């Protein structure tokens, strides 16, 4: 389970311009520095915003990663909905569906 490191990479991207530079020029080298599963690496490479959401990435991190990847607000919201349709309910964390929601 390396959701923590997926989120840590997004945390660094949100606050460190040098990491953003590496994300754009040396993505594989950047990914190699974090303990990630192949599914997580694919979701970041995509980017697959819907899959990252379903994996349980915190929205306060994902929201800015989506913006960095060029997602307009409505497209970002739709990408999360599409992720639920494609991959099923959120697997872990704060966004697992509450009863009756």
Within 8 A by CB and 6+ apart from 50, the residues are 79, 80, 81, 82, 83, 84, 86, 87
Question: Helix 59-68 and helix 73-87: axis angle, to 10°?
Answer: 120
Measured from the CB atom, the residue of 39 and 84 that comes closer to other proteins is 84
C-alpha to C-alpha distance for 20 and 79, rounded to whole angstroms:
22
**Residue 98 binds to other proteins (criterion: CB under 8 A):** yes
Given 1, 15, 35, 89, the residue binding other proteins (CB under 8 A): 15
Q: Is 2 in the site for other proteins (CB under 8 A)?
A: no
Compute φ and ψ for 85, nearest 5 degrees.
-65, -40
Find the binder of other proteins among 32, 33, 73, 89 (CB under 8 A): 73
* Residues near other proteins (CB under 8 A): 4, 7-8, 11, 14-15, 53, 58-64, 67-68, 73, 77, 80-81, 84, 93-95, 98-99, 101
């Amino acid at each position: 389970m390396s959701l923590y490191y997926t989120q840590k990479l997004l945390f660094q991207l949100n606050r460190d311009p040098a990491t953003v530079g590496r994300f754009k020029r040396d993505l594989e080298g950047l990914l190699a520095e974090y303990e990630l599963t192949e599914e997580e690496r694919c979701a970041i490479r995509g980017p697959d915003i819907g899959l990252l959401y379903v994996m349980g990435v915190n929205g306060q991190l994902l929201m800015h990663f989506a913006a960095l990847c060029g997602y307009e607000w409505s497209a970002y919201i739709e990408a999360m909905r599409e992720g639920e349709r494609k991959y099923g309910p959120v697997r872990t964390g704060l966004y697992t569906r509450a009863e009756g929601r």
